[in-house]
Chain A
Amino acid sequence: MTDKTIHKTIIIGSGPAGLTAAIYAGRANLKPIVFEGNQPGGQLTITTDVENFPGFPDGVMGPEMMDLFRNQAKKFGAECFFKHVTKVDFSSKPFKVYVGDEEFLSETVILSTGASARMLGLEAEKDLMGYGISTCATCDGYFFKDKEIVVVGGGDSAMEEASFLTKFAKKVTIIHRREVFKASKIMLERARNNPKIDIMVNKSILDIKGNQKDGVSSIILKDAIDGKETVFNCEGVFYGIGHIPNTDFLSMFLDVDENGYIITKADSTRTNIDGVFACGDVQDSHYRQAITAAGSGCMAAIDAEKFLENLE
């Protein structure tokens, strides 16, 4: 399918940033097209309670909140598609956005592709992701009742994940490649005091062994000090090593910083390409909250609207 219409705005991503941009762009009559990507609703769809989003004094479930965002966007004319953008071409106008062979044209593009869990980059991840390797404790912890598992990482999110997983697992071992932790003192203490949590420092994971049928059986660790390799038996490996912005397919056209985050101009969502705007976690390595993502989504839609007005 190739759609010859030149849209006013295409929004790539459907987290709080993208869907808020869709609400504003819809109300401004821009008839936004939203490509939701392979995680419709974004990162909040893999969490449970969201307790810090204003307007929900009793908390709200992440997936439910994102359904509300989407309904509100659709109400104002946004069209949402469960499609993952594979390529863009911002070298000429109208901009081109591709989903496989399908081509879409637009006068402006709002980038809100957020961030994804960082991987270790092991060959085994291809085979074992979802079969014993996980990036989501709240999603997959349930399947590790009374099992021995490890959590990789040394920051707050790894500590939180480890504590959460003790609800299910027999034992949780935190594996950290350094001696010093990024985690806050409180979180680290909480993990240290939990009888079900062990902490191993100066160890990096060289390989994860297992198969799709039986899951993970062990990991191979390398000691940072003496270089020795050891085998550690476990049935699950949970990653808590942070997030990376989803800019792989964009970085050829857009200025990104050394960590891959899109660089926006001061006090705006404008990027180095006129007519392309970025909002949410994809351009924010600092705040990374639903409310800040939504706020910048609103800014992007207003910036896009102004840009279109100036063209006329």
Chain B
Amino acid sequence: MSEKSVKITDENFQELVLESEKLVIVDFWAEWCGPCKALAPILDKICDEFGDKVLVGKVNVDEVKQAPVNYGIRSIPTLLFFHNGEIVRQEVGLQSEQALIDSVNQVIS
């Protein structure tokens, strides 16, 4: 996992995701998921591109039991965009950098 994102667990979900002041992109992923691995460097680029405006949080579905169930995750990678504690957008499957940049811009503008 990269340094640019934070590790999200059931314990810190409330504080780091729901109570965050900035946009949080939560990435549901697993080691055995090829497309998730392909998405990771793209999310790093999103961190570089948006710096302080966006936080990327990683939920490893093998370790974190409750969050994937709570949010009805049925396929990975799934990205949930949280703003002020609410889901404002979600994307299933691998996304290109441009598609993600567009998504973030739509949400933060």
Interface positions of A (Cβ within 8 A of B): 38-41, 44-48, 61-63, 66, 82-84, 129-132, 134, 138-140, 142-144, 212-215, 236
Contacts and interface: CB of A to CB of B under 8 A. Distances in A.
Interface stretch (B3-11, B15-23, B51-59, B90-98): B90-98
Given A139-B35, A213-B72, A130 B93 contact: yes
Contacts of A130: 74-75, 78, 92-93
Contacts of A142: 30, 61
A187 B32 CA distance: 25
A83 B98 CA distance: 9
B34 A41 contact: yes
Q: Chain B binding site: helix, strand, loop or mixed by DSSP?
A: loop
Contacts of A132: 74
Given A41-B34, A143-B68, A83 B96 contact: yes
B72 A131 contact: yes
B72 A215 contact: yes
Contact of A63 (B34, B61, B76): B34
Q: Which of B37, B74, B92 has the most CB of A within 10 A?
A: B74
Given A38-B96, A139-B76, 4 more contacts: A38-B94, A63-B38, A139-B33, A142-B61
A214 B38 contact: no
Contact of A62 (B34, B42, B73, B90): B34
Contact of A214 (B37, B72, B76): B72
A312 to B, nearest CB: 36
